[in-house]
Structure 1
Amino acid sequence: MDELDINMTPSVDTPTRGKSKQKRCWREIEAIKEKQRLRKELMDIDPIFDELATDEF
């Protein structure tokens, strides 16, 4: 009976927790890359933005 109870208890380490952390980190990386891409695009369009970008970011 003890073996049955051990097998039926849920494990504490769930793989979904690790995957959600990885997804969150990936989203943060994507957001940083998107911000860098937009900054570069704005600098290509308007050279004056270069001065503003260094002050804000």
Structure 2
Amino acid sequence: MYACGGCADVGEVADQACRKLRREGFAQASMSCITGIAARMQPFIDAAKKANQVVVIDGCPVGL
């Protein structure tokens, strides 16, 4: 699971939504760092590629 944790309030809301979903059993895998993927850090990219399913929560209107 990936959440926008950006500097806007919506980033915090996205992060809290991911954390709540994990606590309630929605995701069995751990949350990971979406910034690590954007920064092209290979361990984060490899983990994302190995995932059976990827969930991203982003409330930010930038890029839409």
TM-score norm. by structure 1 comes to 0.37
Higher strand proportion: 2
Higher helix proportion: 1
TM-score norm. by structure 2 comes to 0.34
| Max Rg structure | 1
Larger RCO of the pair (alpha carbons < 8 Å, separation 6+) = 2
